[in-house]
Chains A and B, each alone.
Chain A
Amino acid sequence: MAKTGPSDEVVIDVRELTKHYPDVKAIDGIDFEVHRGEIFSLLGPNGAGKTTTVEILEGLREPGGGEAHVLGVDVRNDYGRIREKVGVLPQDYEPFDRLRPREAIAYWAALFNRRITKPEIAALLETVGLTARADAYAMHLSGGEKRRLGIALSLVGKPELVFLDEPTTGLDPGARRDLWALIKQLKAAGKTVILTTHYLDEAEQLADHVAIMNKGKIVARGTPGELILQYGQGTTIVLADAGEAGLAALTARGIPARLEGDNVVVHATAAEVRQMLAKLASIDVPLTEIYTRRDTLEDVFLRVVGARMREGVLAE
């Protein structure tokens, strides 16, 4: 696989895209660009409009208003021209129960008008880590293996652009990390990947660019680093188990702090961290340890959406 990085070439261009239904504005005027060779993540809770957005970009759903171009083609017209260049793993993908992965790949290749050889099938199975399960009925594969098969099918047409719609939802942590490695491999092979997810760590680990969606709108957009810089509060200093007494001690000395459980947390910019740590060390505060924590997308999400997210559901 020839390694390539993101380029300046725009492969997806979305302008003022809308999709309204009688009872809901599924997409409410969103804009973003995706560059060739990058992993672009649409991040948000269930019902945010992620799947509606990608289904429009996959040519599976009619857009309402606005513009959406994929590989230079208006998604309203001529999607057939780029169909073979686009691979899709749909949300809640289920394989055909009584086809073996080896057979499913050959079948799917034919649906892309592609003659695939046995060595090519073997190579694809190897890529997605299904060599050992190549001859098992799909109904007997684990959840992670089924998603891997789905990814294999999305790659069978040798696409330039791969849509992965919540590929790790419902998988155990081990299977999720295995899939992350596979997604990184796709990027390394020069594919452009559009990843929808409601896992903040997944987006932070994998994505070059992230668009956070909520209620049909993009509420924040940028690289994970840019978002943390823009919406985060720098570094968080944690005084473990300092409790109410610790909070009172810090507040008495004019240091802004707040309680997170039994921990007292203090925010500082990168320039302030050293000075703040020295200041905190001079105060007699009961604690078990003191450590620093860099802001994550979770902190960004909390600030731009106003709620935490667990398994795709916003927590009040």
Chain B
Amino acid sequence: MRRVIADLVAFGRQYMRSRVGAFFAFAFPVILILLFGAIFSGQGSVKVQLYVQDLDDTNTSHAFLGALNDTTVIVYHQIPANVNIVTYIGQNSVNTALLIPNGFEDSIRRNETVNVTLYGDPTQSTYGVAASVVSGIATYMNFQIAGARPLIGMASVPIGEGFKFIDFFLPGMIGFTILTNALFAMTPVAAEYRSRKYFKFLATTTLKKGEWLLSKVLFYTLIMSVSAVIIIAVSSLVWGGNLIITPVSVALMFAFIAAGCFEFTSMGMALGMYTKDVETASAVANAIGFPMMFLGGTFFQIEAMPPVIQGLASVMPLTYLNEGLRATMIFSNEGKALAYLGVTLVLGFVFFVIPAKLLSWKTK
């Protein structure tokens, strides 16, 4: 064990002295949590800017716009009646615009169908929000005009009341930090040890390959644990938070950090074995790590992704780390968390065995 600790201390000194390592371990995740927190912390009061050209300009059209305004989701801006709406949209880079046609009120009075027209890019989320709201107001007014009342309503019971986006994001941020530090750092480290012949030099000592690997896993577990505490503390101080803090959830969180470091450090080692130099190793780590970062549920919920992408996400090692952390830190679902912990450990073992068995410090 003395050799493992000595290697851990020596590696840690170099890592912290490089400053880049310390930045990505501690500063970068804090910056991201502040940035994403600022972007998404007000998600419940998101407002869609809707530009409206009211060619009717009657009490009925005003009532329609008033109802839109009352939703608090829409902030509408007037488009002058004397301009072409399509030209106006182009010239003013408008995302979503609504046209209320001339004769809107007259058509309703004559009991004739009349359409309002929504302009915009259907792929934009703001368009979807505006379309839902406009459609909802139209349905509401149709009921009012017809003197009818809806028979089916909807009551909502929030689960996990009080959870915010930052609570969803925080476990993903911990998983992301483990990925970027353990995988992105270890792949070039392994390549550097090979290209600078450090492995050969280490082979002249009594240090074993497994001990060298173990010291790296322990090192990353240590700094990622510190990093996770900092991330949670900063997030709680700045954005508040509703994470479940119990002895079990905290123990599981640290177990996931250790398992994640085991998994991604070993994966980085395995990748570094097969790359010729540090530059290639970094490119390989990025090529594998970046898709995993986005598909592994760090920033977006996997359930919201298309089925094909969900299939891809299910084979991403990061998915099980992120979802496992969420299961314990948000939902207090220990059963699911333990299952995901098991998957992470099994994958870690597979990745550990590859470099431990195949990595040779000797020359053929």
With A and B bound together, what is the CA distance between A253 and B168 in angstroms?
103
Closest chain A residue to B193 by CB distance? Answer: A96
CB of B350 closer than 8 Å to a CB of A? no
- CB within 8 Å of A: which B197-215 residues: 197-198, 200-207
CB of A103 closer than 8 Å to a CB of B? yes
CB of B149 closer than 8 Å to a CB of A? no
CB of B18 closer than 8 Å to a CB of A? yes
**A112 touching B206 in the complex, CB below 8 Å, given contacts A62-B364, A93-B201:** yes
| Total of A-B residue pairs, C-beta within 8 Å | 75
Residues B196 and A94 in contact, CB atoms below 8 Å apart = yes
**A107 touching B10 in the complex, CB below 8 Å, given contacts A83-B205, A86-B204:** yes
Bin the interface of chain A by size: 20 to 34
Residues A90 and B200 in contact, CB atoms below 8 Å apart = yes
With A and B bound together, what is the CA distance between A98 and B7 in angstroms?
14
Question: Which B residues are in CB contact (< 8 Å) with A93?
Answer: 197, 201
Q: Whole-angstrom distance from the CB of A167 to the nearest CB of chain B?
A: 14
Indicate the member of A86, A94, A107 with the most B CB atoms within 10 Å.
Answer: A107
Question: Which A residues are in CB contact (< 8 Å) with B3?
Answer: 110-111, 113
Report the count of interface residues on B (CB-CB < 8 A): 26
**A88 touching B204 in the complex, CB below 8 Å, given contacts A61-B364, A110-B6, A111-B7:** yes
Residues B196 and A61 in contact, CB atoms below 8 Å apart = no
With A and B bound together, what is the CA distance between A92 and B195 in angstroms?
11
Residues B13 and A99 in contact, CB atoms below 8 Å apart = yes
CB of A172 closer than 8 Å to a CB of B? no
Question: Which B residues are in CB contact (< 8 Å) with A62?
Answer: 362, 364
Q: Whole-angstrom distance from the CB of B180 to the nearest CB of chain A?
A: 21
Residues A108 and B205 in contact, CB atoms below 8 Å apart = yes
Q: Whole-angstrom distance from the CB of A35 to the nearest CB of chain B?
A: 22
Q: Whole-angstrom distance from the CB of B151 to the nearest CB of chain A?
A: 73
Question: Which B residues are in CB contact (< 8 Å) with A92?
Answer: 197
CB of B357 closer than 8 Å to a CB of A? no
Residues A60 and B203 in contact, CB atoms below 8 Å apart = yes
Residues B2 and A90 in contact, CB atoms below 8 Å apart = no
**A94 touching B205 in the complex, CB below 8 Å, given contacts A110-B2, A113-B3:** no
Instruction: Name the one of A60, A84, A154 contacting B362, with C-beta atoms under 8 angstroms.
Output: A60
Question: Which A residues are in CB contact (< 8 Å) with B110?
Answer: none
With A and B bound together, what is the CA distance between A8 and B362 in angstroms?
31
Question: Which B residues are in CB contact (< 8 Å) with A83?
Answer: 204-206
**A61 touching B363 in the complex, CB below 8 Å, given contacts A108-B205, A110-B2, A112-B206:** yes
Question: Which B residues are in CB contact (< 8 Å) with A90?
Answer: 197, 200-201, 204
**A103 touching B10 in the complex, CB below 8 Å, given contacts A111-B206, A113-B206:** yes
With A and B bound together, what is the CA distance between A61 and B10 in angstroms?
27
- CB within 8 Å of B: which A147-166 residues: 154, 157
With A and B bound together, what is the CA distance between A88 and B9 in angstroms?
23
**A107 touching B9 in the complex, CB below 8 Å, given contacts A83-B206, A90-B201, A93-B201:** yes
Residues B363 and A111 in contact, CB atoms below 8 Å apart = no
CB of A316 closer than 8 Å to a CB of B? no
30 pairs, A vs B, C-beta closer than 8 Å: A59-B203, A60-B203, A60-B361, A60-B362, A60-B363, A62-B362, A62-B364, A88-B201, A88-B204, A90-B200, A90-B204, A94-B196, A94-B198, A98-B18, A99-B10, A103-B13, A104-B10, A106-B6, A107-B6, A107-B7, A107-B9, A107-B10, A108-B205, A110-B5, A110-B6, A111-B3, A112-B206, A113-B3, A113-B206, A137-B17
If A88-B204, A103-B10, A110-B3 are given as contacts, then 4 extra A-B residue pairs at C-beta distance below 8 Å, sorted by A number, are: A87-B204, A94-B196, A104-B10, A110-B6
A: residues with CB less than 8 A from B are: 55, 58-62, 80, 83-84, 86-88, 90, 92-94, 96-99, 103-104, 106-108, 110-113, 137, 154, 157
